[in-house]
Amino acid sequence: MSIQPKTGLLVISRHTESEWNLLGKWTGLTDVSLTEKGHKEARMVGELLKEIKFDVAYVSEQKRTHQTLEGILAGANYPDVMKQVRGAVNERDYGELTGKNKWEVQTEIGDEAFKGIRRGWDYPVPGGETLKDVHARVVPFFETELLPRLQAGENVLLVAHGNSIRALIKHLEDIHEDEIANVEMGFGQILLYHVDPEGKVIKKEIRQIDTTPPKA
């Protein structure tokens, strides 16, 4: 009887609600903490991943991903897992927009420019990065660090940010740059990519926690 090669599993979670998410501010590289709701939802994410044993977890340099990982491990009742910190999956640098309220900026610059900044592929931001720039650092990280682990059949957890995850989704699913504006990584969403020994994604799953605030 032949032994089937083991597939790897890449599980991707966005960090849960941060203090600046709550305030509607562009956070970028600013190192803010999770809200109480964010801590609770991180544990809820973990509860959806209890059956998976991870070989390694990767986080960005921002503490909101570290706090989310801690919550996930607590919710899943995991022992500590090997943690790797990588700047390649940091959130997008929003340059001069950092700290500004998104909805006030939308009023100032109009809907078209606002959508270009938030969702566009190569829409310039003064002093900051485009999604194309983020893609240029995320993909080599995936190819050199994550992919070999997945090809070896490991289970890898990545806790990152909306834009670094969108850049990785573009690569994993071969999404054209004209279509990337339609790709969103929502809060509470978990992506699971099954990867074969050749490095090909053979299955994608989506899990979702309920992020609706409780009624008063």
The string of pLDDT tens digits covering residues 56-75 is 999 999 999 999 999 999 99
What per-residue confidence (pLDDT) applies to 55?
97
> Which domains are assigned to the chain?
8-208 (3.40.50.1240)
What per-residue confidence (pLDDT) applies to 140?
98
d(CA 42, CA 187): 10
Point out the residues that are catalytic.
15, 91
Strand order in the sheet with 8-14: 83-85, 56-59, 155-160, 8-14, 189-195, 201-208
What per-residue confidence (pLDDT) applies to 1?
46
Which pair of structure tokens corresponds to residue 147?
């992919």
The upper half-sphere exposure of residue 55, i.e. CA atoms within 13 Å in the direction of its Cβ, equals: 12
Ranges assigned E (strand) in the chain: 8-14, 56-59, 83-85, 155-160, 189-195, 201-208
pLDDT in tens, 86-125: 999 999 999 999 999 999 999 999 999 999 999 999 999 9
Q: By mean pLDDT, which of 105-109, 187-191, 201-205, 210-214 is the weakest?
A: 210-214
Which pair of structure tokens corresponds to residue 148?
């070999």
Model confidence, pTM: 0.94
